[in-house]
Amino acid sequence: MSGGAFLSRIGFSVLAALLGVLFALPLIWFIFAPFNARAEMGLALPDPWTLSNFVTVFQNAFAVRALFNSLIQSVGGVILIGAAATLAAYALSRSTIPGKSAVTYVLLLFSSVVSGSAAMVPIFLIISAMGLIDTQLAVILVFAGGLLPTAMFILRDFIDGIPKSYEESAMVAGASPLQAFFDVALPVIRPGIVVIVVWAFVNIWGSFLIPFILLRSSEQMPASVAIYSFYSEAGTPIVTLLAAYALIYSLPVVLLYLFVSWRFGFRFFGGIKA
């Protein structure tokens, strides 16, 4: 190896290490701050270590209930998105309807462009006309409607990669179209379903705007909104309690990622039932 190439590699390694440290510093603070009795912004280890911040957080009934509300919204949205996207993507992939690709791209385009604050006024009016304001169902339906086109687009790519001969062979052997779908196609597209499940859960779990606008009572608010209860009346964060609640709030997403990596990981390639 020439001297110039060696120096370039050393320089790249040093730069990568510095960037890694910059990204790691907030994470280190995020891990240690909840166990600190004092509101410090430094990276020093807590001295002494304490669990009093977590005790105070769990004594906040509003914040604890908000975690369960987030779970209801996320699980409900994931179930609806996963089921609808799987069936719709399979139908679009296997059907011979003219213009089906255009339909998929138009849905994806509108779900990307007409989103966020730009869509909240018509969404609020529609939900209000349905009489669903301040209900968990309203939040779940809005999330499902917004995320479904992208989920369909992702899943359709998975299904397009499955030869139609799989289902045709099953039906020649006497299986009904429904049996061919559940016993042949569905096991093979499980990786795609897992992708949209994790993606949809993370999007719903961390969303603030939609539940903030559609929900009114504190009993219905999710954790993304309830986290503001750890601010003072002047708008100043109570750092110790905010850090503890943020750590608890992040655990479901981390656990879901670890479970998917452990249960599926790179070993998860689908399979066909015998």
What domains are defined for the chain? 64-271 (1.10.3720.10)
* pTM of full prediction above 0.95: no
Measured at the alpha carbon of residue 125, what is the angle toward residues 121 and 127, in degrees to the nearest 5? 115
Q: What is the pLDDT of residue 115?
A: 56
Rounded Cα distance between 215 and 259, Å, is 31
The amino acid present at 30, given as its one-letter code, is F
The token pair that represents 154 in the structure block: 């992702």
Q: What is the pLDDT of residue 97?
A: 72
Q: What is the pLDDT of residue 111?
A: 66
Could you please report the per-residue DSSP string of 16-48?
HHHHHHHHHHHHHHHHHGGGBSS---S-PPPSS
- Report which of 249, 241, 255 is spatially closest to residue 50, judged by C-alpha positions: 241
pLDDT per residue as tens, the chain (274 positions):
566 676 777 877 888 888 877 777 777 777 777 887 776 666 666 667 888 888 888 998 898 999 999 999 999 999 999 999 998 888 888 877 777 677 777 776 666 655 566 778 888 898 999 999 999 999 999 998 888 888 888 888 888 888 888 788 888 888 787 888 888 888 888 888 888 999 999 999 988 888 999 998 888 999 988 888 887 766 777 788 888 898 899 899 888 888 888 777 644 444 444 3
Q: What is the pLDDT of residue 72?
A: 94
Handedness of CA 249, 251, 255, 261 (dihedral sign): positive
Residue 135 gets which letter from DSSP? -
139: left (phi over 0), alpha (psi -120 to 50) or beta: alpha
Rounded Cα distance between 144 and 142, Å, is 5
Residue 237, beta-bridge partner list: 231
Q: What is the pLDDT of residue 258?
A: 85
**3-state DSSP assignment of residue 237:** strand
Rounded Cα distance between 41 and 44, Å, is 9
Q: What is the pLDDT of residue 92?
A: 82
CB 214 within 8 A of CB 139: yes
The token pair that represents 38 in the structure block: 């004092």
Q: What is the pLDDT of residue 39?
A: 64
The amino acid present at 246, given as its one-letter code, is A
Rounded Cα distance between 226 and 233, Å, is 14
